[in-house]
Amino acid sequence: MGREISLFTDYHQKENSLTNYCGLLMKMLYEDSPRRFEELLATLLKTDINIIIGPTFTQQTKIEKSIPDLAITQKSFSIFFETKTTDWFYEDQIDRHISGFNQSADNKILFLLSNFENDNLDEQFNKEIKKGKENHIIIQPLTFEDFVGSLEQVCNTEYLKNLLEEFKIYLDRNGHLPKWKYLLDVVSCSGTLQEIEQNVYMCPDTGGAYSHRRAKYFGAYSSKKVATIFEISAIVVIEKNLSEAKIKWKNVNVKNEILIELAKQKLHTWQWRIEENKSISLQVFLLDNRAETNFIKETSGGMLQSKKYFWDIAADCKNSQELAEKLRNKNWGDFE
């Protein structure tokens, strides 16, 4: 038997407790305002499906064999959540969820809730999404960040707002929010400082040493220190001979075509990059909010690799200016 969502639980597994907290917030939102709960579902769903909470009242509506003067109807729906503390979902478990839906429900939705670091979730779950469609079920991956963001749009009472803030602190404390927001990607830029001065960094899109995790902050390393820190707007991949361009990931709410056009303009600034692009694809880092600092590599020698990640170094920083101030005249060893 399942349990009612409750403030008082004795779950020992973190996933069960986490699911209970998510369900509790939605339950309290519904009890406060069914209309707001309906808005939450509309925000969470990335389809044109409209889940209506409660009955609808219509007049002179034609049905199969009659036209009643007044019709009070209510569509049925089933919404499942599968919550994971790690980005790992089992195909067999998803299949069992698909089989477990009430087939008579008008709308059937399965949310896969986790802290996904990958942005291409539709691609990651392409097989499961297709199988869901075959069974008239919407399968939608959902990050905790998007879940919280949707709740922020509809929780309009002080009580719910305060509760949501506590929930965000809980998620952050337990590592369920995206790590990229606090990540500094320090990259050796000795040979490309002219590009850095123009708020851009470019490198081959060949994987290996040139692979970069999604990060909010970019540190330009040269002469045994990071002298400038930026916020990364996006990485645009420009295919050989400018044949095609696509967004690898972006951290700003700007249309893809605008970012792609800006990346092409940056590439055309340097003739040698144009020549390089004739044979290989290039990654173009679009940088913004430059901040001066003096983050020192105190050990002997240069960087052992072309990049170095400093995880959670910006956990208490809102922007590049705050991070630059935090790292000014500090050593790398202070954060390793």
CB 272 within 8 A of CB 153: no
Mean pLDDT, the chain, integer: 90
CB 295 within 8 A of CB 330: yes
Kindly report, residue by residue over 112-144, the tens digit of the pLDDT.
999 886 667 888 899 999 999 999 999 999 999
Kindly report, residue by residue over 260-281, the tens digit of the pLDDT.
999 999 999 999 999 999 999 9
Query: Does the pLDDT value for residue 101 go beyond 50?
Result: yes
Q: What pLDDT score does 149 carry?
A: 87
Q: Which two tokens stand for residue 173?
A: 């404390």
Q: What pLDDT score does 1 carry?
A: 46
Q: Which band of pLDDT confidence, cut at 50, 70 and 90, is reported for residue 218?
A: very high
- 186 — phi, psi (to 5°)? -90, 125
Q: 204, 178, 156: which is closest to 39 by C-alpha?
A: 156
| Mean pLDDT on 52-66 | 86
Higher local confidence (pLDDT), 177 or 282: 282
Q: What pLDDT score does 17 carry?
A: 86
Kindly report, residue by residue over 1-50, the tens digit of the pLDDT.
455 655 546 556 778 889 999 999 999 999 999 999 999 999 899 777 88
